[in-house]
Amino acid sequence: EPEVTQTPSHQVTQMGQEVILRCVPISNHLYFYWYRQILGQKVEFLVSFYNNEISEKSEIFDDQFSVERPDGSNFTLKIRSTKLEDSAMYFCASILGETEAFFGQGTRLTVV
Amino acid sequence: SQKIEQNSEALNIQEGKTATLTCNYTNYSPAYLQWYRQDPGRGPVFLLLIRENEKEKRKERLKVTFDTTLKQSLFHITASQPADSATYLCALDGNTGFQKLVFGTGTRLLVSP
């Protein structure tokens, strides 16, 4: 069964450092997303990516965040200068069209 | 502003009973609504999708209803099992054409043997 894979599963970083979270979406999918979930809170949309560009982003996705699909398979989320409040689970998701979303297992980001 | 509400209190039921979870929304006209299961420390897993022109959808022991007049969806698990214990998330499409999902806070279901 096709799946979305994310690496690493857990990342610990110092405040102010840059982190890159990596995702391999399902190969024939067209829409790619990053969501985050702060512990005990709901899953929140960060950004959607379609046709090699950002199609929509939330208020959370400020200038510290960026996404890339550098090689047609990987999809990355970069946080330029991490803050304590960036600590959360980050989920990558992909969909084919107006169908269900396939989520990865997440990267737990801990900023210390 | 758009709002999705799920019962934040855990639902405790006995094995074999039917679990019913509720999702209410306001200031929204979703084209479809989805239900996901989330286990602790894991990503959401898709269960069912129901479109605005559908009243009911079934899949094995799962049933979803969608009432666009009441702005409510009900999610039922019949013959519940301890393995059904998880958090269940309601998600609506974001009405923007790029298929983003807007999630409710989820309801934790505990099925005891």
Nearest CA-CA partner of B76 in B110, B35, B45, B38: B35
Shortest alpha-carbon distance between residue B82 and chain A (Å): 22
Distance of CA B91 to the CA centre of its chain: 7
Kindly report, residue by residue over B49-101, the tens digit of the pLDDT.
999 899 999 999 999 999 999 999 999 999 999 999 999 999 998 766 667 89
Q: What is the pLDDT of residue B92?
A: 92
Whether the per-residue pLDDT at B48 is higher than 70: the answer is yes
**Mutate: best of A42, A44, A49, partner B, most B CBs <10 A:** A42
Contact B38, B104 (CB under 8 A): no
Q: Is B105 on the interface with A (CB under 8 A)?
A: yes
Q: Is B102 on the interface with A (CB under 8 A)?
A: yes
Distances (CA, A) of A79 to A16, A60, B35: 10, 12, 30
Torsion-angle region of A69 (φ positive above 0: left; ψ -120 to 50: alpha; else: beta): beta
Q: Is A44 on the interface with B (CB under 8 A)?
A: yes
Supply the DSSP symbol for B28: -
Nearest Cβ partner for B49 among A91, A100, A108: A100
Q: Is B62 on the interface with A (CB under 8 A)?
A: no
112 residues of chain A, pLDDT tens digit each: 789 999 999 999 999 999 999 999 998 898 999 999 999 999 999 999 998 999 999 999 999 999 999 887 899 999 999 999 999 999 999 998 777 899 999 999 999 9
